[in-house]
Every structure is written in structure tokens, then in C-alpha cells.
Amino acid sequence: MRYVDLDGRVGDVTGVIDPQLYLAELSGFADRLPPGAREFATDPGHYAFRGRRCVKDLVPQGAVRSGDDGIEIRFRHNCWKHDEDLVIRYTGVTVFRADMPDAPDGTGAPDVLDVPGVRDLSDLGDVILDEVLPASDGGCTHEIGCRPGTLFVACRDLSAEWSPADCPELRVGSGLRWSGDDPGS
């Protein structure tokens, strides 16, 4: 990633996830992002680590082609943090890479633009963070860092949709609370 630091340092502590440089730069290039990408990247909850709509800790589930140049990626919630799943729909896709260094088939970086059906992405692991950048052709790129893999999409635009999670642990009366919940509410 260009701006998001997935292995930052604070004093003697290493391995700190730091989106601050990206967030500082985002204000300068947000107007060059396509509308859907801009809405997703600038959402106040996107990088709020304790928030329910932060992408951190989501789990990529699968990618499927839609039409001639579209791809849809589904992300499963983390029961301890999210109460919604996320679907990102990309249009005008020119590049899609799912880089899984330890892939059992040994491919490492398959490009699913040529693969019909659903591509399983669960081996990528939990999302660490992502970065949406403007592309020179007026579209955007979206890089998603995971443990241990990476997703990369170059497209005309994207749309993100959150939907209620189907998770027994989230059912009323389960006693679970999400990080960031106010214990007084």
C-alpha cells in the first residue's frame, strides 16, 4: 500500500496498524475518486477501529464475476466487532488479483477475471486495512491487506453495501457486546 502502514511503529512497539498518512492524503485526492469509491473511502466509520463499519477484521469470503467487467466480493463480519456483512461491487474491472502466498494450488496470485463462478477468498484471512486511490484513467484502485494475503482491484468505480449479518452469536439475548458499545445504553 502506498499510504496505509500495516507494520508501523510507535516508540518501541512494532506491528502497529496506522492509516493516519492515508487519511491525511485522502482529503487531497477524494474529489478525484469516482462517486462510489469516494463515498466508501470517506465514510467516517471506515477507519474507526472500534466501529461496527470499520473494514478491519472482516473476512473475505468469495469473488464472483458479474457481467462482462464486474466483480462482487463478499466479506463476512467478525462476530466480536461487526453486526453486518459487507458486499463490494466493482464495475469496469481491468485488474483483479487475489494474492495468497500460501495458496494450496501454488498459484500465489490468481487473476479471477478469467475464472468463471465463485472464487473462494477465505484463505486470505482477516482484513487488516484497505486503501482506495484514484487511477489515472478516472477510475480507482482498491487494495485490501489481509493476514496473510492481499486483494487488488483496478476498476471504473465501486459500491459498498452493508447488510445485517446472519450470526447466532449476534442474536438478542446472547450477552455479546461490540467494541465501542456504550455500556450505559
* Number of domains present in the structure of the chain: 1
Residue 29 lies in a domain: yes
Residue 138 lies in a domain: yes
> pLDDT digits over 56-111, tens only?
888 898 888 888 899 999 998 777 777 788 999 999 999 988 887 655 554 444 45
Residue 76 lies in a domain: yes
Of 73 and 16, more confident: 73
pLDDT higher than 70, residue 123: yes
User: Which of these, 127, 156, 159, lies nearest to 143 by C-alpha position?
Assistant: 127
Residue 181 lies in a domain: no
Full residue range of the structural domain in which residue 86 is found: 5-165
Which residues, at least 6 apart from 87, have a Cβ–Cβ distance to it below 8 Å?
72, 73, 74, 75, 160, 161, 163
Residue 170 lies in a domain: no
**HSE (side-chain half, CA atoms, 13 Å) at 158:** 32
Residue 91 lies in a domain: yes
Distance in angstroms (rounded) separating the CA atoms of residues 42 and 58: 18
Q: Is 101 helix (H, G, I), strand (E, B) or coil?
A: coil
